[in-house]
């Protein structure tokens, strides 16, 4: 009795087409039920399922589904778990602490190694667009040199999947000995040396299943999620400050004119 007529149509379609829905997108279901993706998502959540990805995954487990569909949905579920678990384990206080450190620093050094360098480079670029003084580096010898001269009002942010990379740990120890502030963004445990040495440690969730095992090609998706959250909040803060300044300027001009 809590469903609208459109939501009932969505439920009926799913119940009558369980074998098809496991290979459909949320837009496909919306089109078939003459609704919208938002309606489909809302209906699914009313039934106690977190979202369409979870529904599709559950259907592949229950129905006689093509093996290809099952395997692709397993891949979907892996990404879903990494993103949702990362967000679930983040606290608002932690994100606010990171933002305060970034905004209070005279200069930021962003350190990373391996494939995580791509996450750090994108993060650094977005900070630069926001007008923040940041320098990104992944070369071990250069990061040792930089952190040997870092100042107290400067901030070192380290992106690391494992939290155990020796070069990053040495750089963090150098910076800590000189009184610099340190932030670690990692998928490692809270017991790693890098997490313990940092004033703020942000933890992402890494799925245990690794597709490519011959080299370190583990997904950096949780680190991307964390970096996006930080950048989005920084951007929101800047926009609010610009709007506030614009209103203040407009009020000043109005008072001066009259």
Distances (CA, A) of 185 to 24, 91, 122, 199: 35, 13, 14, 11
pLDDT tens-digit map of 30-66:
999 999 999 999 999 998 888 888 888 788 776 555 5
Q: What is the mean pLDDT of the chain?
A: 87
pLDDT of residue 64: 55
Spatial CA neighbour of 223 closest among 157, 173, 167 = 157
> Average of pLDDT values for 152-174?
93
The pTM (predicted TM-score) of the whole model is 0.74
Q: Is the dihedral of CA 212, 215, 219, 222 positive or negative?
A: positive
Name all contacts of 24-33 with Cβ < 8 Å and 24+ positions apart: 24/56, 26/52, 33/6, 33/9
The CA-based dihedral angle spanning residues 212, 186, 94, 110, taken in that order and rounded to the nearest 10 degrees: -120
């Amino acid at each position: 009795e809590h469903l609208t007529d459109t939501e009932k149509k969505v439920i009926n379609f799913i119940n009558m087409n369980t074998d098809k829905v496991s290979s459909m997108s949320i837009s496909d279901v919306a089109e078939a039920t003459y609704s919208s993706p938002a309606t489909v998502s809302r209906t699914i959540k009313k039934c106690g399922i977190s979202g369409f990805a979870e529904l599709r995954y559950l259907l592949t487990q229950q129905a006689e589904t093509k093996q290809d569909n099952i395997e692709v949905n397993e891949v979907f579920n892996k990404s879903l778990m990494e993103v949702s678990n990362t967000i679930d384990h983040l606290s608002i206080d932690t994100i606010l602490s990171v933002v305060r450190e970034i905004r209070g620093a005279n200069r930021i050094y962003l350190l990373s190694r391996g494939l995580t360098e791509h996450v750090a480079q994108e993060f650094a670029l977005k900070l630069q667009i926001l007008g923040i003084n940041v320098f990104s580096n992944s070369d071990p010898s250069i990061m040792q040199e930089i952190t040997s001269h870092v100042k107290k009002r400067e901030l070192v942010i380290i992106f690391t999947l494992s939290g155990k990379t020796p070069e990053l740990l040495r750089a963090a120890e150098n910076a800590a000995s000189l009184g610099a502030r340190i932030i670690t963004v990692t998928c490692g445990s809270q017991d790693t040396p890098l997490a313990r040495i940092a004033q703020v440690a942000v933890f992402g969730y890494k799925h245990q299943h690794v597709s490519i095992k011959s080299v370190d090609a583990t997904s950096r998706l949780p680190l991307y999620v964390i970096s996006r959250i930080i950048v989005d909040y920084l951007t929101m803060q800047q926009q609010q400050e610009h709007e506030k300044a614009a209103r203040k300027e407009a009020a000043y001009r109005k008072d001066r004119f009259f």
